[in-house]
Amino acid sequence: MNARDIEKLREIVGEENARSSPADLYIYGADASVHAARPDLVLVPGKTEEVQAILRYANAKKIPVIPRGAGSGMSGHAVPIDGGIVLDMKRMNRILEIRPQDILCRVQPGVVDDDLNKALKPYGFMYPPAPASSCIATIGGEIANNASGTRSVKYGATRDSVLGMKVVLASGELVKLGANTNVEASGYQLERLMVGSEGTLGVIVEATMKIVPIPKIRCLGIACYNKLADAGHAVSEIIASGCSASMIELMDNVAITAVNETQNLGLPDVEAIILFEAEGRVKDAVQAEIDAIQAACEKHGGFNIETSYDAKERTRIFAGRKKLFSSLSRYKEGYACTSLADDMAVPYSRMADLAGKIHEVAARNNIIMSAYGHCGSGCMHTKILMDVTKKAQWEDARRAVAEIYDYVHSVGGTTSAEHGIGLSKAPAFKKEKADSLELQRAVKRAFDPNNILNPHKLFDAPDDWVTATELRYPVGSVREP
């Protein structure tokens, strides 16, 4: 990318919406992952025509373009591994329409999840997936990542909320995918293909999303366990016994301790807790679900079960889960929380084994790991806590990540439940999907023949995540400034 390219591209969005100072490039090369790289230019388009013009130019010159939402991705999806243009979509943040009678809304991709929910509330509606990062994550980023969250057990992941979208292809062409209807059987579901595409197939410039009425009554409960495995079995029991839960979250003792340390919540110091929720229109119906969930929890050793309908109390209990990831950094002096092997899904019946396996792998590799997650939807999270300044710890982490994913694949699980693949989960992803990688590459070529959109991610990411980019941590000694 030369000076003339930068000048031409600046002209498209206007001087104030283009940045190329060292400070800007440094910041837009990072996200919430362990990776860091630098783009050559940051562009912040304000309308679809600008996105089209940028892509037309970039495609002709074969310049990489990396769409970016809030940069809250945990696996390096938005890290510009080959330089090029970071396309910050946060300025396209208008809610275009809210149509309660059609249970849908149309939004630009830069709308923040919580802002959408604030806007929907007066209509009595909500946008349901509810990732923990909803206060910053953008709808575009959530679609490109197939985000899910606490309520996905009931309402599904982002893919279940997407009805249609407008996408700018690598060529600059604008296409409409899906429909503004609740059902559609008109050919290939290309809007679904965009879900989870991590910015590699096109730039989403508008999305039509399904919304749901806010339930009138909600009840949140908490159950304690002396054995982590029991909590895992209870999750499977709740699901298999047909309870209609709107949330089932698991937290192990590492997670509980970290959250208590930073949030001062006074959660019980047990080996594991499950947070569960039921919701509906009628209190008796909600209570019936809560009773059934409670029975399933007790069947596997759940004790000190408490439930509450009070909004304040529910918020207090849930606050810990919302801030869990960042709290983990305070678990042990000298250790930092890294986003590695952060996310996976296994069949419900394997949840208990997986939770135990995570701690077993951690102990064997001299690191600390935590088992937690939106287990109601089959999703398990972990993080690796370690001394990030020591080279040996990165070797430990490399081994631990591989061991965890070998186990996940061996029981029929998958590499990512919701955080996506990016760079750091790519080696595991490539192993898991070995027989369809060529097919995926063919799809990519059909959409983006010049490979300009977020190149070298997913199936084309480097085989070793540790050396894929610079690490964001000062491994070894800190250089003198």
Partner 1 sequence: MAAPYERLKSWMHELNLCIRCGYCYELCHLYKSHAYETDTPRGKLLLIYGLLTGALQPDPGMVEKVVQCFYCKNCERSCSSKVSLTKIFTDAKADFLDAGIDFRGLAARTDDDLCSRCRVCQAVCKNEAISFGEDGKKIDIVKCEGCGVCAATCPSNAIIMVEGFGVTRGELRETVRAFLEEV
Positions that interact with partner 1 (CB under 8 A): 19, 21-24, 26-28, 30-32, 44, 70-72, 88, 90-91, 95, 114-115, 118-119, 133, 135-136, 262-263, 323-330, 334, 336-337, 339, 388-389, 472-474, 478-481
How buried is residue 244: exposed, middle or buried, by Cβ count under 10 Å (0-12/13-18/19+)?
A: middle
Which amino acid is present at 122? P
User: What does the per-residue mask of binding to ligand FAD show for 166-185, with x meaning CB under 6 A?
Assistant: --------------------
User: What does the per-residue mask of binding to ligand FAD show for 409-428, with x meaning CB under 6 A?
Assistant: ---------xx---------
Residue 177 near residue 165, CB atoms below 8 Å = yes
How buried is residue 182: exposed, middle or buried, by Cβ count under 10 Å (0-12/13-18/19+)?
A: exposed
Q: Which of 19, 68, 350, 359 binds ligand FAD (CB under 6 A)?
A: 68
Interface with ligand FAD includes 29 (CB under 6 A)? no
DSSP letter at 185? -
Which amino acid is present at 48? T
Stretch that binds ligand FAD, among 60-68, 394-402, 428-436, 461-469 (CB under 6 A): 60-68
Scan residues 307-326 and list those touching ligand FAD (CB under 6 A).
325-326
Residue 1's nearest CA partner among 86, 67, 80, 61 is 61
Phi, psi of 292 (to 5 degrees): -65, -40
Structure tokens at 11: 């002209």
Interface with ligand FAD includes 132 (CB under 6 A)? yes
Interface with ligand FAD includes 109 (CB under 6 A)? yes
Q: Which does 145 bind (CB under 5 to 8 A by kind): ligand FAD, partner 1, none?
A: ligand FAD
Q: Which is nearer to ligand FAD, 195 or 367 (CB)?
A: 195
202 Cβ contact partners less than 8 Å away, ≥ 6 residues apart? 167, 168, 169, 170, 175, 194, 447, 448, 453
Q: Which does 149 bind (CB under 5 to 8 A by kind): partner 1, ligand FAD, none?
A: ligand FAD
In this structure, the dihedral spanned by the alpha carbons of residues 229, 369, 458 and 454, taken in order and rounded to 10 degrees, is 130
Which amino acid is present at 357? K
CB of 16 to partner 1, least distance (A): 10
Scan residues 324-343 and list those touching ligand FAD (CB under 6 A).
325-326
Q: How is 381-432 classified by DSSP, letter by letter?
A: E--EEE-TT-HHHHHHHHHHHHHHHHHHHHTT-BS-SSS--TTTTHHHHHHH
CB of 382 to partner 1, least distance (A): 14
Q: How far apart (Å, rounded) are the C-alpha atoms in residues 166 and 182?
A: 17
Q: Which of 1, 70, 170, 352 binds ligand FAD (CB under 6 A)?
A: 70
Q: Which is nearer to ligand FAD, 305 or 443 (CB)?
A: 443
Residue 136's nearest CA partner among 152, 115, 122, 117 is 115
Stretch that binds ligand FAD, among 18-26, 67-75, 434-442, 459-467 (CB under 6 A): 67-75
Q: Which is nearer to ligand FAD, 67 or 302 (CB)?
A: 67
Stretch that binds ligand FAD, among 62-70, 235-243, 307-315, 327-335 (CB under 6 A): 62-70
Q: Which of 81, 116, 204, 354 binds ligand FAD (CB under 6 A)?
A: 204
Q: How far apart (Å, rounded) are the C-alpha atoms in residues 192 and 157?
A: 12
**Strands 65-68, 35-36: pairing kind:** unpaired
Q: Which is nearer to partner 1, 236 or 393 (CB)?
A: 393
Residues in touch with ligand FAD (CB under 6 A):
31-32, 66-74, 77-78, 89, 109, 131-133, 137-138, 140-142, 144-145, 147-149, 198-199, 203-204, 325-326, 418-419, 454
